[in-house]
Chains A and B, each alone.
Chain A
């Protein structure tokens, strides 16, 4: 009899923190040494970095190790290596057995890389997290939404709360669960999820077919590292898990009301190992993106996140990686405020990478006339200054602003600054 694939779910467990506080009070004094110390945020960051650096440097061998382990120890798990999203979508379509309803978690791999293709293939895709969201509404008192939690270092409050071995032998419903995993240990295949509500567990319990999607970057060496990384994702990202999403506006099919499949077939577990540009990314100038643990804290202060009408959690990091994978066509909406860099626990320099990507793109595909003009701001300023007596007045007439908008892309409604015929440097030469 084969073992079953370990699937572990991590949740924030505040009772643990409360118990710890109680123990501190009760057992203080000479027994104080028994109480585990919470690691400092800097130590956590350092350890996370080591885990991620290992993944970045060993992605090929980790992928091979995982495949060998899964094939040897868990042959009942149907493993598929997908080179890209097209291949993954084709595979899912092929194994779907005519089932057209897919439930997903908030995984960006699933929602950004696979969902569009699945919709195009006629699937109905619902996010079961949002389904629960509707039940609970968005409550401000949900502590995952409270500010300042990260600084409180809630490391000790996260732990594995559910340990499954394969799929539970429960009554199934006729739908597919497509779940992006948060981490997977190459050495023994243990799958990790971070869960806020109970949607992931429900899908694992109920779906007639469960498809685990593993982006190659989710691979880590050991179960211990996977635990650490998932904890880190929870701790650093918990303030951000609710950002950008709200109760869903329209009714979707309720999984609770679905009927079981007509024949009493055993539930099936699939695992799709998705490359989709990741191997190349790990070896490119953008390999720092591989350090990401998916905590989404880069979203925290991003001023443009509200502009993306996404039914998944949008992040600047995904914005860039989707552009690099060729899934989205532009990253021009980033206004380069650098807030994401300051937030990232792995110190990923997203603004710099964002620029590098823009530059590479411009070198390959050229730049628009508008960007060429705006890319010479000092020349424009010099021209405006030389003819300040004319330009200041002209810039306020529609006759100039409309054609100017057409040529330069500068919106006609903007209020432009006034030019000065005497620049500061001229003044300084005379008076300095």
Chain B
């Protein structure tokens, strides 16, 4: 069971495409943070989770990827590892969609049941008294944007709870407005205007709530916010790393 695996303190980091190709600092920060907590981390062979492929009707490609990931990740689960991601869309897809698209696959179910969003996992460690809370104060205000795909996991804002453990951090505003990016959706010419129109509400919220930092778990949301506000947006693991002084 997933609960028991967490106590093994062994994780597979499922990087997803964004942290691997576009934002490697996130992966590096996660490895450092896990190291600080004496958690063993491995990064086995893996491919795109399949979500963006499915979204564009590339079912054959998506299934191929889901099968490869399921094989590798379920093997790791059998070896006592839990699976963690830093991308809320990857974690949603692994948790929710793998068992739906691969109905009847026990291995996909295993992957689903043992996948955690990174903050969700760190909070489990914290609940058991295993999280190193030797944080140095970060006297900063934070605007936190909740990605839709994190809300869709119905796990009750783990990232906000995690950031609140860091002394000095004030979460000034938690937004749940959709940013309109939807992966590649906002890039497409056909959707560009609408995507920005959707984002306007979020842009306004950011303007009305000025903070030192803007934080979100999703790469797509990060790009959309940066494009519309000219502000730098950080992944929350970057703040955790800073709080550890790493």
CA distance A417 to B181 in the complex (A): 13
Contact B56 A374 (CB under 8 A): yes
B contact residues around A372 at 8 Å (CB):
56, 58
Min CB–CB distance B88 → chain A (angstroms): 11
Report whether B21 and A420 are in contact in the complex, using a CB–CB cutoff of 8 Å: yes
Among the stretches A34-42, A184-192, A256-264, A351-359, the one at the interface with B is: A351-359
Segment of B1-9, B116-124, B189-197 engaged in the interface with chain A = B189-197
B155 at the A/B interface (Cβ < 8 Å)? Answer: no
Q: Which B residues are CB-close (under 8 A) to A336?
A: 55, 182-183, 185
Chain B, residue nearest A367 (CB): B57
Task: Write the A408-420 contact mask toward B (1 if CB under 8 angstroms, else 0).
Answer: 0111011111111
Q: When chains A and B are docked, how far (Å) is the Cα of A335 from the Cα of B199?
A: 13
Which of B46-54, B137-145, B236-244 participates in binding chain A?
Answer: B46-54
Residues of B with C-beta under 8 A to A21: none
- Asked, given contacts A335-B185, A419-B22, whether A375 binds B148 with beta carbons under 8 Å apart, the answer is no
Question: Are the CB atoms of A377 and B17 closer together than 8 Å?
Answer: yes
Q: How far is the CA of A184 from the CA of B9 in the complex (A)?
A: 58
Check if A370 sits within 8 Å of B188, measured CB to CB: yes
Interface residues of A in 402-432 (CB under 8 A from B): 405, 409-411, 413-420, 422-425, 427-428, 431-432
- In the bound assembly, the distance between CA atoms of A422 and B178 in angstroms comes to 31
Name which of B167-175, B205-213, B219-227 contacts chain A: B219-227
Cα separation A306 to B180 with both chains bound (whole Å): 12
A409 proximity list for chain B (CB < 8 A) = 188-190
- The answer to whether A374 and B52 touch across the interface, beta carbons within 8 angstroms, is yes
Q: Which residues of B contact A361 (CB under 8 A)?
A: 57
Which of A172-180, A219-227, A235-243, A337-345 forms contacts with chain B? A337-345
Q: Is the CB of B189 within 8 A of A424?
A: no
Residue B67, interface by CB 8 Å? no
A156 at the binding interface (Cβ < 8 Å)? no
CB pair A376–B53 under 8 Å, yes or no, is: yes
Restricting to B81-110, which residues have a CB under 8 Å from any CB of A? 92, 97, 100
Complex Cα–Cα for A361 and B43 (A):
37
Q: What is the interface size of chain A, counting residues whose CB is below 8 A from a CB of the partner?
A: 54
Q: Are B188 and A339 in contact (CB under 8 A)?
A: no
Q: Does A384 contact B (CB under 8 A)?
A: yes
Residue A146 lies at the interface, judged by CB distance under 8 Å to chain B:
no
User: Given the complex of chains A and B, what is the CA–CA distance between A338 and B22 in angstroms?
Assistant: 25
Cβ-based interface call for A332 (8 A): yes
Q: Check if B180 sits within 8 Å of A303, measured CB to CB.
A: yes
Which interface class (under 10, 10 to 19, 20 to 34, 35 or more) fits B?
A: 35 or more
Q: Are B31 and A338 in contact (CB under 8 A)?
A: no
The answer, yes or no, to whether B80 is at the interface (CB within 8 Å) is: no
Q: Using Cβ atoms and an 8 Å threshold, which residues of chain B touch A355?
A: 54-55
B22–A335 contact, CB under 8 A?
Answer: no
**A377-B184, A414-B192 known; A341-B152 Cβ under 8 A:** yes
- Residues on B with beta carbons closer than 8 Å to the beta carbon of A385: 21
Name the prevailing secondary structure of the B interface residues: helix
What's the minimum C-beta distance from A387 to chain B, rounded to whole angstroms?
13
Bound-state CA distance A411–B187 (Å) is 6
8 Å CB contact of B226 from A332, A367, A415, A423? A415
Residues of B within 8 A of A352 (CB): 97, 100
Please measure, in the bound complex, the distance between the C-alpha atom of A337 and the C-alpha atom of B221, giving whole angstroms.
12
- Do the beta carbons of B227 and A375 come within 8 Å of each other? no
B43 close to A432 (CB less than 8 A): yes
With the chains together, A420 CA to B27 CA distance in Å?
A: 13
Decide: A359 and B27 in contact? CB cutoff 8 A.
Answer: no
A119 within 8 A of B: no
Select which of A304, A377, A378, A432 is within 8 A of B198 by beta carbon: A304
Q: Which residue of A lies closest to B15 (CB)?
A: A424
The answer, yes or no, to whether B130 is at the interface (CB within 8 Å) is no
Interface flag for B75 (CB, 8 Å): no
Q: Counting CB contacts under 8 A, is A72 at the interface?
A: no
Check if A424 sits within 8 Å of B152, measured CB to CB. no
Does chain B have a CB within 8 A of A333? Answer: yes
Give min CB distance, A390 to chain B, whole Å.
Answer: 15
Q: Does A362 contact B (CB under 8 A)?
A: yes
B184 contacts across to A, CB distance below 8 A: 374, 377, 410
A24 in contact (CB, < 8 A): no
Q: Are A425 and B15 in contact (CB under 8 A)?
A: yes
* B234 at the A interface (CB under 8 A): no
B188's partner among A304, A367, A374, A419 (CB-CB below 8 A) is: A374
Do the beta carbons of A375 and B194 come within 8 Å of each other?
no
CB distance from A245 to the nearest CB of B (A): 18
B79 CB–A CB distance under 8 Å: no
Kindly state whether residue B157 has any CB partner on chain A within 8 Å. no
Q: Which residues of B lie under 8 Å from residue A376 when comparing CB positions?
A: 53, 58, 61
Q: Is A381 an interface residue (CB 8 A)?
A: yes
A:247-261 near B, CB below 8 Å: none
**Residue of A whose beta carbon sits closest to that of B41:** A432
CB distance from B183 to the nearest CB of A (A): 8
Nearest CB on A from B155, distance (A): 12
Quote the shortest CB–CB distance from B20 to chain A (angstroms). Answer: 5
Shortest distance from the beta carbon of B103 to any chain A beta carbon, whole Å: 11
Q: List 10 A-B contacts (CB under 8 A).
A: A335-B186, A339-B178, A362-B57, A375-B53, A376-B53, A381-B21, A415-B223, A417-B219, A417-B223, A424-B19
Interface residue ranges, B against A (CB under 8 Å): 15, 17-24, 26-28, 31, 41-43, 47-48, 52-59, 61, 92, 97, 100, 148-149, 151-152, 154, 178, 180-192, 194-195, 197-198, 219, 223, 226-227
Q: Which 5 A-B pairs have the closest CB atoms?
A: A375-B58, A335-B182, A375-B56, A362-B57, A424-B27
